[in-house]
Structure 1
Amino acid sequence: MVQLSVRGAGGGGLGEWLLLELQGELEARDGAGLAGRLLGDLHFTRQGVPVLLLGHHVLYGKAVRLEKPLAVLTKAPGHYSAVALIRRKLLFKTRPKPIITHLPKKA
């Protein structure tokens, strides 16, 4: 599960996060893991379609509203405190498409 923080317009209150759902598995080339690393670039088209660029691949997804919101909690001694709510997820269920640049052939 990858977590994205989305800044809200208002001040104070709980933050709102997005859940990013990918089909398949992501692996780092060096085997060191993905924690704390840049995963890729997330963009939205003018129609609101999420586009995720991962290395030399592009994934097109859709935004989905969750039936039941999820709460992100932190544990402190003796109690839990809510940090954020997750109400939407970005679903990428298709295979990634390679990004291919067309280079002119030399004569």
Structure 2
Amino acid sequence: MSQSLSFLCQLSAIFLRYPDEFIKQESVELGTLISLSNLSIEQKKAFEEIRIFLEKTPLLDAQSQYVQLFDMSPSLSLYLFQHVHGDSRMRGQAMVDLLEEYRSAGL
């Protein structure tokens, strides 16, 4: 995986997490990382917009919007098996099976 793709994935993971105090405390540093990165202008702009939104929005409001967007909108769910199994028992078994795959690969 190229260094810029790895950075893009890591940055995306940070911004897709449930909002917490970390995102507020590290906002300035995240802004610096974004500005100094090799990302495209469009990517930098998109990440910077999200960063500023999370920095300026009260934490409870950001958390509420996160839940509305990702937990209450099945088509936008971040849960890996939500799209395949919904809320059925098969989703739980699929997560257990995936965990076993990770373990067998040494992860």
Q: Same fold (TM over 0.5)?
A: no
Which structure shows the bigger proportion of residues in helix conformation? 2
Which structure shows the bigger proportion of residues in strand conformation? 1
Higher RCO, 1 vs 2 (CA within 8 Å, ≥6 residues apart): 1
